[in-house]
Amino acid sequence: MSNKRTVLTGLGAVTPVGNNIKDFWDAVVTGKTGVARLSAFDPTPFSSQIAAEIKNFNPTSYMTPKQEKRLDPFVKFAIVAAKMAVEDAMFDRDKLKSERAGVYIGSGIGGLHTIEKEHKKYIMNADESQAASRMSPFLIPMLIVNMASGIVSIEVGFRGPNSAAVTACATASHSIGDAFRIIQRGEADIMLAGGSEAAITRMGFGGFCALKALSTHNDDPEKASRPFDRERDGFIMGEGAAVVVLEELEHAKKRGARIYCEIVGYGMSGDAYHMTAPDPCGDGAVRCMKASLKDARLNTEDVEYINAHGTSTLLNDKMETNAIKTVFGDYAYKLAVSSTKGVTGHLLGATGGAEIIACAKALSEEVIPPTINYEHPDPDCDLDYVPNEAREKKINVAISNSLGFGGHNVTLVVKRYDE
């Protein structure tokens, strides 16, 4: 088996705090949140009335108006983020071997906008035979999860490995980790990988409200997402896409690519515990972090920063804190740990992509993002969460945790690039 080195050479993101990397990173570092009262529809009937929505999104510079009408929002987000990452990587497209370049972009939920729109069209017709004839011929290709990866490959001309993970909040991290393995095995030189989500619809939002998973700090939206804070009461539903370019090191060096960092470890595990609740002992997260460090051939003391899953829910933040302390022991108290979800909200299937970008920028810019809205220390969450203000520090190794419904856990390890 080959064991080729893999680096990140391109970043792209569509997020509630900016539809490009500069705006996203500036917001993450300064703590400018994208959470506000929900505007897509009247949220009054719901227990939670706040969200982190995409703003000022205009995809027409990346696709034609005709094409835009035939795509679900989650696919549009993915196309824009992917093309942005390709532009950032500065490829000479004429010199690429397209069969050696692939795409691995997933979604936790997929085309929920399309499902709701077409279902409404169906039930509004009393005659079922007529209703069926009114269905859009694009219904299925607009809603299926793999279409983000499929359409992106068409748009950028990458004909290599192509797939899509579907693991709830761990989706983007699984996609990036699996793409890392593909390059490591020598099956591709370039992979576009990440996740996309556009599930802020009446049904999607209502479902999470029914689950009692969302924050109800409706009177103060900007402070509603407060990871690790004692007053946390649920996550903030977000949307968007985040895609990175992974590239085999020698391929990147040969073309003189800018390298953000090296991806060196990938661990995953299953809780085998509960449909939505995390194992309170954190066993799955513990095994996942340990597996990633073993894969990276690093010791716990080599890690300097953890971008935590940190959802701002009572159970997750307590569990993740316990898991970090189990893995790192006393050294856990010397680590910088932060969650960027106070700024972005929870991007669901896209969140791991946004957070690995935050890690890559933390390494390249030598700045650790803060955990905003941290005001009330919780005795169950007693680590250094980089409260409220970014911290200038040169770090060499960072890890990113993603923990999804169903007990899906992923940890990615990135390292400052060193010849």
Q: Which of 309, 359, 381, 408 is catalytic?
A: 309
Angle formed at CA 417 by CA 413 and CA 419, multiple of 5 degrees: 130
| CA neighbor of 175 nearest in space, from 1, 2, 404 | 404
For residue 113, indicate whether it is catalytic: no
Q: What is the dihedral of CA 366, 229, 194, 147, to 10 degrees?
A: -160
Judged by DSSP in three states, 11 sits in strand
pLDDT (tens, 9 = 90+) of the chain, 419 residues, equals 568 999 999 999 999 999 999 999 999 999 999 999 999 999 999 999 999 999 999 998 899 988 898 999 999 999 999 999 999 999 987 788 899 999 999 999 999 999 999 888 877 765 666 666 677 888 888 899 999 999 999 999 999 999 999 999 999 999 999 999 999 999 999 999 999 999 999 999 999 999 999 999 999 999 999 999 999 999 999 999 999 999 999 999 999 999 999 999 999 999 899 888 888 889 999 999 999 999 999 999 999 999 999 999 999 999 999 999 999 999 999 999 999 999 999 999 999 999 999 999 999 999 999 999 999 999 999 999 999 999 999 999 999 999 999 999 999 999 999 87
Q: Parallel, antiparallel, or unpaired for β 6-14 and 261-270?
A: antiparallel
User: Tell me, what's the pLDDT at 131?
Assistant: 65
Q: Active site includes 169? A: yes
* DSSP characters over 159-188: -S-EE----GGGHHHHHHHHHHHHHHTTS-
In the three-class reduction of DSSP (H, G, I as helix; E, B as strand; rest coil), residue 370 is classed as coil
Domain residues of the chain, as ranges? 7-110+145-415
Question: One of 113, 169, 174, 288 is an active-site residue; which one?
Answer: 169
- Report the topology of domain 7-110+145-415: Peroxisomal Thiolase; Chain A, domain 1 (3.40.47)
Burial of 275 (0-12, 13-18, 19+ CB in 10 A): exposed
Catalytic residue among 174, 217, 346, 408: 346
Distance CA 362, CA 194 (A): 18
Q: What does pTM read for this prediction?
A: 0.96
Alpha-carbon distance of 146 to 70, in angstroms, equals 15
AA letter at 305 = Y
Q: Are 80 and 241 in contact (CB under 8 A)?
A: yes
